[in-house]
């Protein structure tokens, strides 16, 4: 079951907070993209419930871009909350998913992505998404904002990375 990009972002924000780190919007968007890619490669299923888009400067998850654009290049200070009606709000969480085993698997992939990529800056992560053999670089019309980056291309790319060890 794919999760909201907000739930995945919140998981990264919690991991960063637990280590005394902060995340900029660029770094967070790229971490969510990498988690989605690795999850696709490992399970064959998407991690997030929205399409990654090719924007002029790289792959973007549109809802997260709009959620965090007010932070500019500064650190994100709040988790994403959703309105439940009346005066009720709640944090979006992976654990809201209906399958405990899938929730656990998603958290493990996110944790591993954090361990592997969390020390990099947003710019360094962005550079990794721009490699010539990557999904964004090979997306036709990538300069046209909103062009989808196919999950199949993302999955194939990360499976290739996995096979290289």
Helix axes of 100-117 and 25-43: crossing angle, nearest 10 degrees: 120
Beta strand 147-148 with 53-55: parallel, antiparallel or unpaired?
A: antiparallel
Q: What is the dihedral angle through the alpha carbons of 128, 132, 136, 142, rounded to the nearest 10 degrees?
A: 130
Three state DSSP letters for 58-80: EEECHHHHHHHHHHCCCCCCCCC
pLDDT of residue 143: 76
pLDDT in tens, the chain (165 residues): 799 999 999 999 999 999 999 999 999 999 999 999 999 999 999 999 999 999 988 899 999 999 999 999 999 998 887 765 665 566 788 887 789 999 999 999 999 999 999 999 999 999 999 999 999 999 988 878 789 999 999 999 999 999 986
pLDDT at 84: 58
Q: Please give the model's pTM, rounded to 2 decimal places.
A: 0.94
């Amino acid at each position: 079951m794919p999760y909201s990009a907000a739930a995945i972002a919140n998981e990264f924000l919690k991991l960063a907070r637990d280590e005394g780190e902060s995340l900029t919007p660029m770094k967070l968007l790229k971490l969510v993209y990498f988690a989605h890619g690795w999850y696709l490669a490992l399970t064959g299923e998407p991690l997030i419930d929205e399409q990654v888009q090719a924007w002029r400067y790289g792959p973007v998850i549109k809802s997260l871009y709009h959620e965090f654009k007010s932070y500019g290049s500064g650190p994100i200070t709040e988790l994403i909350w959703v309105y439940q009606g009346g005066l009720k709000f709640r944090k979006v969480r992976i654990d809201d998913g209906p399958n405990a085993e899938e929730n656990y698997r998603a958290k493990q992939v996110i944790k591993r992505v954090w361990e592997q990529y969390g020390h990099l800056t947003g710019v360094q992560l962005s550079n990794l998404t721009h490699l010539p053999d990557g999904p964004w670089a090979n997306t036709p019309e990538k300069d046209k904002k909103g062009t989808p980056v196919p999950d199949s291309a993302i999955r194939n790319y990360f499976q290739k990375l996995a096979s290289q060890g």
